[in-house]
Amino acid sequence: MIGELYAASLAGQSVEIEHADGTRLPLDSARWLVPIEGDEAMLSRCLSPVLDVGSGPGRLTVELTRRGMPALGIDITPHAVRLTRDAGGLALCRDVFGHLPGSGRWRTVLLADGNIGIGGDPEALLRRVRELVRPGGSVIAEVAPPRTATRIDRVRLRRGQASGGWFTWATVSASDLPDLARRSGFPRAACWTEAGRWFADLR
């Protein structure tokens, strides 16, 4: 159901993110179909080959491919993977914690659009990503602004009376990112902002 509701959101239908406390926010995933101001802050720092984790409909994977840079997107939603492929990008329907090609050989791993929150355990995710990058490689992640509360939320997707299963998602503040990075095996982490968005480069 999660994949179906996410696909509906990509198609422009009204889908919400429902929090365990009852709070509901719109899921405007259609915005990920086109370039977003600030994307260049990530794209310009990518060195090939690039693994785009949680690539969604693939705007970053497709743009890297257009620039002649080998890139692979992974996402757990088949519809999102199809959109990436239809747009000219290479993508697989895979979970980041499962078997992935090129483990230990990726030069850049992308965690864009807050995907450092995947799984609700940022340290576990970064430790997994540490296994995927080659020695000297980097992780480029989008994080929350400084002084934002780093937290783990229990959420689900909802469209009218239909709802998906509950899952956890994390928010990581730029203020807390350096300590998290060190605990996860990345001794260096630099944060910066562009177009109102915050990013981090972990090495």
CB 51 within 8 A of CB 100: yes
In whole angstroms, give the CA distance from residue 61 to residue 64: 5
Reference 71, options 99, 37, 47; nearest CA is 47
Span 46-74, pLDDT tens digits: 999 999 999 999 999 999 999 999 999 99
Average pLDDT in the 83-108 region? Answer: 98
Over 90: is that where the pLDDT of 1 sits? no
Per-residue confidence at 3, pLDDT binned at 50, 70, 90?
Answer: confident
Give phi and psi for 18, each to the nearest 5. Answer: -100, 125
Q: Identify which has the larger pLDDT, 150 or 4.
A: 150
Residues 6 or more apart whose Cβ sits within 8 Å of residue 12: 30
| Assigned fold of 2-30+38-202 | Rossmann fold (3.40.50)
Q: Using DSSP, how many helices (H) and how many strands (E) does the chain show?
A: 6, 12
Span 124-178, pLDDT tens digits: 999 999 999 999 999 999 999 999 999 999 999 999 999 999 999 999 999 999 9
Give me the chain's average pLDDT, please.
96
DSSP H or E run through 51: strand 50-53
Average pLDDT in the 98-113 region? Answer: 98
